[in-house]
């Protein structure tokens, strides 16, 4: 059964796909964002509203009589959870985007300890949803997301919420297209790249279409639960590089560095010492979820979007805020390291 759906963050990479998936599934969708943006692939009938989710009165007004399901793509902390819960009387159920960043390993190591000596987390492979998480609190992105999760789960009887722990999100309209790491090198004619950790890093990606499918199923099957959100296969960084090269018709030598990056050399958006790979079986069991795409299959569309966005534009203007430019594109340091290595 479907009904009315209200999507906060609708014009972002997740929102665009999720609005489309919900509308095509029969929901009457209201697409909310501060700018009121739309997507050309949305079916007719999707209503857009401009609202800032941090403005309580405005969000309450935009919700009006309420909705059967609410998707929140931009909830980050306990305040956001409490804000949603204060509207529980007018929301049937919710789906809220969280992050794999909440996970800790059995020694309490996680995203927040990565830079510490021996701080790189060694998660089980794959990570089940029952794995431990950081203590909730206001300090970091991970602790705030944990607070968001715990507030919502504790109030599951008032507002059944599916929390989706997303991996490294990819797809068109990404504000942080990690593939830029390889794409820009190809556009710059770089014939070599260095990958730390032997190129074996695995940082579970998830395509927006797969998140949208999880949203669609959770909307139809409300519940108070946490689910991992990852693609069916988590490729290594070396495999991602090879797939990008193949799609672009570019050839580059990959030099593997055994250990961690040396300064900026060998670093990449996927460089993790030990794999972060999530178990996707629970979503299959609970929702009957089947992924709608894979990293490899979805790559040409994502790269097509990225190349079009980059055409005639400076990538720093597009993504400079999200991509730590100097760290990932320090060709001079890379060349020095390669020369020293002989």
Ligand X SMILES: NC(=O)c1ccc[n+]([C@@H]2O[C@H](COP(=O)([O-])OP(=O)(O)OC[C@H]3O[C@@H](n4cnc5c(N)ncnc54)[C@H](OP(=O)(O)O)[C@@H]3O)[C@@H](O)[C@H]2O)c1
54 binds ligand X (CB under 6 A): yes
Six-digit token pair at 46? 């999707």
What is the helix, strand, coil percentage profile of the chain, to 5?
A: 40, 20, 45
13 binds ligand X (CB under 6 A): yes
d(CA 6, CA 29): 6
Pick one of 5, 7, 8, 67: the residue that binds ligand X (CB under 6 A). Answer: 8
**99-158: which residues touch ligand X (CB under 6 A)?**
99
Six-digit token pair at 117? 């000596």
Cβ within 8 Å of residue 261, ≥6 positions away: 196, 267, 271
Q: Which is nearer to ligand X, 8 or 257 (CB)?
A: 8
User: Cβ of residue 339: shortest distance to ligand X, in angstroms?
Assistant: 34
Pick one of 7, 67, 70, 97: the residue that binds ligand X (CB under 6 A). Answer: 97
Pick one of 23, 48, 53, 109: the residue that binds ligand X (CB under 6 A). Answer: 53
The piece of 13-21, 82-90, 253-261, 325-333 that touches ligand X (CB under 6 A) is: 13-21
d(CA 54, CA 56): 6
d(CA 329, CA 342): 21
> Given the structure tokens 């949208």, which residue do they identify?
212
166 binds ligand X (CB under 6 A): yes
Q: Which is nearer to ligand X, 21 or 73 (CB)?
A: 73
The piece of 30-38, 81-89, 111-119, 281-289 that touches ligand X (CB under 6 A) is: 30-38
Q: Which is nearer to ligand X, 8 or 272 (CB)?
A: 8
**Which residue has the closest beta carbon to ligand X?**
12
User: Cβ of residue 31: shortest distance to ligand X, in angstroms?
Assistant: 9
Q: Which is nearer to ligand X, 79 or 296 (CB)?
A: 79
DSSP state of 45: T
User: Cβ of residue 189: shortest distance to ligand X, in angstroms?
Assistant: 28
Decide: 42 and 240 in contact? Cβ < 8 Å. no
Q: Which is nearer to ligand X, 110 or 337 (CB)?
A: 110
DSSP state of 275: -
The piece of 33-41, 109-117, 123-131, 150-158 that touches ligand X (CB under 6 A) is: 33-41
228 binds ligand X (CB under 6 A): no
d(CA 323, CA 325): 5
Cα distances (angstroms) measured from residue 67 to each of 33, 63, 163, 312, 332: 16, 7, 18, 42, 54
162 binds ligand X (CB under 6 A): no
d(CA 228, CA 234): 13
Burial state string for 294-327 with b = 16 or more CB within 10 A and e = fewer than 16: ebbebbeebbebbeebbeeeebeebbeeebeeee
Q: Hey, is 272 helix, strand or coil?
A: coil
Calculate Rg over the CA atoms of the chain.
20
15 binds ligand X (CB under 6 A): yes
Six-digit token pair at 109? 């190591």
Q: Hey, is 337 helix, strand or coil?
A: helix
User: Cβ of residue 227: shortest distance to ligand X, in angstroms?
Assistant: 13
Q: Which is nearer to ligand X, 168 or 303 (CB)?
A: 168
Interface with ligand X: number of residues (CB under 6 A): 25
**172-191: which residues touch ligand X (CB under 6 A)?**
175-176
User: Cβ of residue 169: shortest distance to ligand X, in angstroms?
Assistant: 4
18 binds ligand X (CB under 6 A): no
> Given the structure tokens 């730390």, which residue do they identify?
196
Which residue ranges make up the site for ligand X (CB under 6 A)? 8-15, 33-35, 37, 51-54, 73-74, 97, 99, 166, 168-169, 175-176
């Amino acid at each position: 059964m479907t009904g009315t759906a209200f999507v906060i963050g609708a014009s972002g990479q997740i929102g665009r796909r999720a609005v489309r998936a919900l509308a095509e599934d029969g929901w009457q969708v209201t697409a909310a964002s501060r700018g009121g943006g739309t997507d050309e692939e949305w079916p007719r009938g999707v209503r857009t509203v401009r609202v800032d989710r941090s403005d309580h009165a405005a969000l309450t007004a935009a919700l009006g009589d309420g909705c059967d399901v609410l998707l929140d793509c931009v909830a980050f902390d306990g305040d956001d959870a409490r804000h949603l819960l204060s509207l529980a009387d007018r929301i049937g159920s919710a789906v809220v985007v969280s992050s794999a960043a909440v996970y800790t390993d059995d020694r309490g190591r996680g995203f927040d300890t990565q830079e510490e000596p021996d701080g790189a987390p060694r998660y089980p492979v794959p990570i089940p949803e029952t794995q431990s998480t950081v203590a909730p609190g206001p300090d970091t992105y991970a602790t705030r997301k944990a607070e968001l999760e715990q507030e919502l789960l504790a109030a599951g009887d008032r507002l059944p919420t599916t929390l989706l722990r997303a991996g490294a999100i990819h797809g068109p309209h990404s504000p942080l297209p990690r593939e830029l790491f390889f794409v820009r090198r190809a556009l710059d004619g770089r014939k070599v790249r260095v990958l730390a950790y032997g190129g074996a890093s695995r940082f579970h990606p998830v395509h927006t279409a797969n998140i949208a499918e999880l949203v669609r199923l959770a909307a139809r099957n409300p519940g108070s639960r946490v689910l991992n959100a990852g693609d069916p296969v988590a490729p290594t960084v070396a495999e991602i590089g090879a797939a990008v090269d193949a799609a672009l018709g570019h050839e580059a030598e990959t030099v593997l560095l055994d250990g961690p990056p040396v300064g900026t050399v060998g670093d990449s958006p996927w460089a993790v010492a030990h794999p972060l790979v999530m178990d996707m079986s629970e979503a299959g069991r609970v929702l009957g979820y089947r992924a709608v795409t894979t990293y490899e299959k979805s790559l040409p569309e994502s790269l097509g979007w990225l190349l079009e966005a980059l055409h005639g534009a400076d990538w720093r203007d597009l993504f400079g805020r999200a991509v730590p430019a100097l760290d990932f594109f320090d060709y001079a340091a890379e060349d020095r390291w390669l020369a020293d290595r002989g």
